[in-house]
Amino acid sequence: MRRIKIFDTTLRDGEQTPGVNLNAQEKALIAKKLDRMGVDVIEAGFAAASKGDFEAIREISRVVETATVASLARALPGDIDRAWDSIREAKFPRIHTFIATSDIHMKYKLKMTEDEVYKQAVDMVRYAKGKCRDIEFSCEDASRSRREFIYRVLEGVIEAGATVVNIPDTVGYSYPDEFGTLIRDIRNNVPNIERAEISVHCHNDLGLATANAAAAIKAGAHQVECTVNGLGERAGNTALEEIVMLMRVREKELNATTNIASTHIAPTSATVSQLAGIGVQPNKAIVGGNAFAHESGIHQHGVLENATTYEIMTPESVGYSKNKMVFGKHSGKHAFTDKLREMGYDFNREKIDELFKKFKALTDVKKEIFDADIEYLAQGSIKEVEEKTKLVTFEVVRHSLNCIKADIVMESSGRKEFGSGTGDGPVNAIYQGINTLLGREYELKEYSIHGITGGADAQGEVRVRVAHGDSVGSGRGIHTDIVRASAEAYIDAINCIESIRIA
């Protein structure tokens, strides 16, 4: 049985999903969960992209215990220096450098010839090798590249010290037969290929990312790059949960297995979905809300008699529990502490007491507390922004069809202050009131709301982006009262803007 390495790029390619922006604490939390799940490599980010990403990769390098930590870099000395500085504290660091090898990318984007790209790839792998033992090299857009050219580049970079060579289907253009043949051809035509591991990185533009990765495994690939929930650029990447469970369910046929503890899949999927702010579609394989749901009578009958009639894997095998612990107002601190631990939070007693109070307050307004509610409570306490200003209370009164007045009390630098505003809706009125109270014209740029869990008493999660001058801050508020969640999200964003200013 071959063991296929799982390279998770949720924190790099996954973060390239439009609208996703994770801070260092959020990234570190996801990295710890991936490490516990048993992934072989965590691609933590693109160090040259921003100071924030650099710091996040550094933090991840410190907290990850078992997995290799990779940092992506263009084939440029500056990017490689930055990548190395970001991972040098990791137990197992890897520099991942890349350059495009297809005619389209070389001509229109890089404006380089084949010879120039070859030289830059080889020189930069050699340069990176001078810093780090483990070097991965990717031929970006490999599936649309001229075969003979990829063979030449791969031979050159392996000679220069690459330990892993990655073959991406960057634009999700390939199909399984073709992609499998590409991997076989590489194995047969690159003379020194045995000195490196072959990795594949597939995108889902035609819905074939997992199928292409599976074809590559059959053709001899050693490592699959993937993301939790299939996040990633455009239509996303191969979903970790899909490729892992494919190897679990069809292990014999694929003659392949992984190191993944599959029961961690569902909780990790929930954390990523919540922190990234990207919900999972109900019919998503493995982690969608309907993946183990049976609605029609014939199916229900079959499942009641024997679940294997309609289930090819058990919900428990991916971390859903049939006998789940139900949380509500009668729940106690032992079960709550246990739940937090199971979710990967190692809080001290003081923090648990504080969260338990919030949990009890929530049970007064919500009949059943779901895992997602507890995740949000826990995530709220790992916020990196200081709460300089916070909401104390507010009241909203409708004056006429188009005019609503909001009175707000806030605590700012330890003092209670009062403000009021009007608007055509309650949220608008509150935002005007907060601006008046703080004496600043903050401007709402983006606003979105979604229900975290089902039911009439579900909590609403509001996300906003707020601007003031050149500064922009993001904020999040969660509450069963969506007007209050809106106010808290706005204040969270303001605290973010002000803390950036002070820093």
Ligand X SMILES: CC(=O)SCCNC(=O)CCNC(=O)[C@H](O)C(C)(C)COP(=O)(O)OP(=O)(O)OC[C@H]1O[C@@H](n2cnc3c(N)ncnc32)[C@H](O)[C@@H]1OP(=O)(O)O
N residues, the chain: 503
- Which is nearer to Mg ion, 225 or 373 (by Cβ)? 225
Q: Whole-number minimum distance, CB 465 to ligand KIV, in Å?
A: 26
Query: Is 201 marked as a binding-site residue?
Result: yes
Q: Whole-number minimum distance, CB 128 to Mg ion, in Å?
A: 19
**Is the Cα torsion angle 273, 473, 463, 412 positive or negative in sign?**
positive
Q: Whole-number minimum distance, CB 236 to ligand X, in Å?
A: 12
CA angle 250, 170, 272 (to 5 degrees): 65
Q: Which of residues 78-107 bind ligand X (CB under 6 A)?
A: 98-99
List the one residue from 86, 101, 145, 170 that touches ligand KIV (CB under 6 A): 170
Number of H helices, E strands in the chain: 17, 16
Under 8 Å between Cβ of 339 and 332? no
Query: Applying CB under 6 A, does 13 fall inside the site for ligand KIV?
Result: yes
Q: Whole-number minimum distance, CB 16 to ligand KIV, in Å?
A: 8
- At 257 the three-state DSSP class reads strand
Query: Is 203 marked as a binding-site residue?
Result: yes
Which residues on neighbouring strands pair with residue 329, listed in sequence order? none
- How close are the terminal C-alpha atoms of the chain, in Å? 53
Query: Applying CB under 6 A, does 98 fall inside the site for ligand KIV?
Result: yes
In 3-state terms, the chain is what percent helix, strand and coil (to 5)? 45, 25, 30
- Which is nearer to Mg ion, 13 or 40 (by Cβ)? 13
Query: Is 402 marked as a binding-site residue?
Result: no
- Which is nearer to ligand KIV, 169 or 461 (by Cβ)? 169
Query: Applying CB under 6 A, does 48 fall inside the site for ligand X?
Result: yes
Under 8 Å between Cβ of 136 and 97? yes
Q: Whole-number minimum distance, CB 86 to ligand KIV, in Å?
A: 16
- At 202 the three-state DSSP class reads strand
Query: Applying CB under 6 A, does 262 fall inside the site for ligand KIV?
Result: no
Q: Which residues contact 29 (CB under 8 A, 6 or more apart)?
A: 271, 275, 344, 379, 382
Q: CB nearest ligand KIV: which residue?
A: 168
Under 8 Å between Cβ of 310 and 303? yes
Distance CA 397, CA 54 (A): 47
Query: Applying CB under 6 A, does 138 fall inside the site for ligand KIV?
Result: yes
Q: Which of residues 150-169 bind ligand KIV (CB under 6 A)?
A: 166, 168
List the one residue from 201, 222, 264, 484 that touches ligand KIV (CB under 6 A): 201
- Which is nearer to ligand KIV, 80 or 489 (by Cβ)? 80
User: Which H or E run contains 223?
Assistant: strand 223-226
Tokens 């300089």 correspond to: 388
Query: Is 330 marked as a binding-site residue?
Result: no
Query: Applying CB under 6 A, does 49 fall inside the site for ligand X?
Result: yes
**Residues in contact with Mg ion by the rule CB under 5 A:** 13
CA angle 435, 441, 444 (to 5 degrees): 85
Complete DSSP assignment for 4-56: PEEEE-TTTTGGGSTT----HHHHHHHHHHHHHHT-SEEEEEETTT-HHHHHH
Query: Which of ligand X, Mg ion, ligand KIV, none sits in contact with 254, Cβ below 5 to 8 A by type?
Result: none
User: Which H or E run contains 139?
Assistant: strand 135-140
Query: Applying CB under 6 A, does 74 fall inside the site for ligand X?
Result: yes
Residues that constitute the known binding site: 13, 201, 203, 237
List, as residue ranges, the binding site for Mn(2+).
Answer: 13, 201, 203, 237
Positions in the binding site for ligand KIV (CB under 6 A): 13, 98, 138, 140, 166, 168, 170, 201, 203
Interface contacts to ligand X, rule CB under 6 A? 13, 16, 46, 48-49, 74-76, 98-99, 109-110, 140, 170, 233
